[in-house]
Amino acid sequence: MRHEVGFAGFVREHTPALLRTAYLMTGSSQAAEELVQDTFVRLYPKWDKVAAADVPIAYVRRSMTNGYVNHQRRASRREYAYEEVPERLDERDAFGQLADRDQIWAGLKSLPDRQRAALVLRFFEDLSDEEAAAALDCRVGTIRSLVSRGLSTLREQMARPLPPEGGRTR
C-alpha cells in the first residue's frame, strides 16, 4: 500500500514537469503523454528502487529520455518514405479457398453424427483424444476410430468435384 501511495503522489506532483520535458522532446502533446505514461508503466514494478534514488525525479527523467531515444532509434529502422507506394498482388486464391471450405462443409454434413462430432472436437476445438472421448462419453479407441473413418470419408469426397448448386450431379 505504501508503495502505491508513494507512486501515486509522485505521479501527481511530477507529471506536469515530465509532460513539458516530453513535449519538448517529441513535439507533440499526444506523443508526450504516451511517453510519460510508458515511462511510469515501465518503472512501476521497480518503484522501490526509484524512490530510494538520491533524486527520484532525475531517475524518472533519465528513464523517460532513454525510452524516447530507444523508441526513435527503433522507429528510424522501420519507417521508410516512398514517393509511390508499390502495389502488392494478393496471391491467395479466395475463390479456391471458398470452394474448399464449401466442399469440407458439405463433407462434414454428410458424415454420421458421431464421426462429425469427433472431427469437430479433435480438429476445430483442438481437444485431445482423451478430452474428445470424455465429451462423447466413449473410449479413446472409439474416438480414434471415428476420426480415422471420418477423415477417410472426407478425403474420398475431396477427391470428387463439388456438385453444382442444385445439389444434383448429372
Measured CA to CA in angstroms, residue 48 lies from 43, 45, 53, 65, 123 at distances of: 9, 8, 9, 20, 49
Domain positions in the chain are 2-75, 95-159
Please state which of the ranges 8-17, 62-71, 96-105 shows the lowest mean pLDDT.
96-105
Residue 101 pLDDT class (50, 70, 90 cuts)? confident
| 53 Cβ neighbours under 8 A, 6+ residues apart | 59
Q: What's this model's pTM, rounded to 2 decimal places?
A: 0.44
Q: When comparing pLDDT for 80 and 156, which is higher? A: 156
Residue 170 pLDDT class (50, 70, 90 cuts)? very low
Q: Give the Cα separation of 116 and 123 in Å (integer).
A: 11
Rounded mean pLDDT of 123-150? 90
Q: What pLDDT sits at residue 53?
A: 92
Rounded mean pLDDT of 24-53? 92
Mean pLDDT over all residues of the chain? 83
CATH for 2-75, options being 3.30.43, 1.10.1740, 1.10.3470, 1.25.40? 1.10.1740
CATH architecture of the domain covering 95-159: Orthogonal Bundle (1.10)
